[in-house]
Amino acid sequence: MTDIGVIFQAIHQAVDYALANSTKGHLGYAALYIRALPRVMAEQGLHEGLHSQLPYILNNLQAWKGPEARAAKKILNDFLKERK
């Protein structure tokens, strides 16, 4: 199972990129889903909240490219696959 600290580090990288570029494409939507994570995790629990929001976050981060993006997206996608 992926270390939750590694998952949150990847989310933090996504937050930085999405907020810095929130006027480009769907990145504003990614930022909204990321900002909703604390509330959703409080309501649904840590893992359920992450599993419900990450697909939407990842979908809206398609414009995020480069080595850092690939690494962070891989961590998040692997976390989602662990549950299946």
Predicted local confidence at residue 61, as pLDDT = 92
Q: Are 61 and 69 in contact (CB under 8 A)?
A: yes
pLDDT of residue 81: 93
Strand, helix or coil for residue 24:
coil
pTM of the model: 0.86
Residue 76 has pLDDT above 90, yes or no: yes
Query: Per-domain residue ranges for the chain?
Result: 4-83
The mean pLDDT value for 51-59 works out to 94
pLDDT at 17: 87
Neighbours of 83 (CB within 10 A): 10
The confidence score (pLDDT) of residue 84 equals 61
Tell me: the pLDDT tens digits for 7-42? 889 988 988 888 888 787 888 898 889 889 999 999
Smallest CA-to-CA distance from 55 within 71, 34, 39 is with 34
What distance in Å separates the CA atoms of residue 46 and residue 60, rounded to the nearest whole number? 21
Name the percent of the chain lying above pLDDT 70.
Answer: 98
49, 60, 73: which is closest to 18 by C-alpha? 60
